[in-house]
Amino acid sequence: MAPPTRWLPDRERRWASIHEQVARELGDAERVTVVPEEPLVSASVLRLGGYRAHSDAAFEHGDIGGDDRVAAYEQFLRRERPDAIVTTSRDRPQFAPRINNRLVEQAARSLGYTLERRFPTPDGRQLRVWVRS
C-alpha cells in the first residue's frame, strides 16, 4: 500500500516531515503554544507529527481571545507559561481568531524566550521555535 501522501506534489509532501522534525526538536515539552492556526501549520498538525515522531510534546493553540497587542500576548505567555512557542516568519490566512506572529515574537523576547531553531517550509517561510530561558 502506498503512503497516503502519494497524490500530493513533491513540494507538499515535505510538510509532514517538517511537522515531525519540529515535534522531535521539542521532545517531551509539557506545554508548547502554537501561534499559527492555518491548514498546514497548527497545533493539530504538529500534534500528529509528534505521534509519528514518538514525541510527547503537548501542542496547544495560543488563543488569547482576539486582543492583538504585544501586552495581551505578554499577559497570555505569563499566565500559560509554555515551555516553547512555535511561530512563522510570515503571517498567512488563518482560522479565527487571527494571531500576529511578529507581535507574539516581541512578547516572547521581552519575557526571556530565545529563538532556538528555524525550520524552512515548502512555501518559503520558516517555522520558528522559541524556548523559555
Q: Which domain CATH number covers 127?
A: 3.40.50
99 inside domain? yes
85 inside domain? yes
Kindly state the average pLDDT of the residues 120-129: 91
1 inside domain? no
83 inside domain? yes
90 inside domain? yes
Q: Which domain holds residue 69?
A: 10-132
Domain count, the chain: 1
Indicate whether 90 pLDDT > 80: no
- Residue 19 contacts by C-beta under 8 Å, 6 or more apart in sequence? 45, 46, 48, 49, 50, 52
121 inside domain? yes
3 inside domain? no
pLDDT value, residue 39:
79
Cβ(72)–Cβ(40) below 8 Å? no
Kindly state the average pLDDT of the residues 114-127: 93
Enter the C-alpha cell of residue 58.
Answer: 503537548
Indicate whether 96 pLDDT > 80: no
2 inside domain? no
pLDDT value, residue 114:
97
The better pLDDT of the pair 89, 65 is held by 89
Cβ(100)–Cβ(91) below 8 Å? yes
pLDDT band at 14; cut points 50, 70, 90: confident
Q: Is the pTM of this model over 0.85?
A: yes
Average model confidence (pLDDT) across the chain: 87
The C-alpha angle 123, 129, 133, rounded to 5 degrees, equals: 165
pLDDT value, residue 94:
62
pLDDT value, residue 15:
83
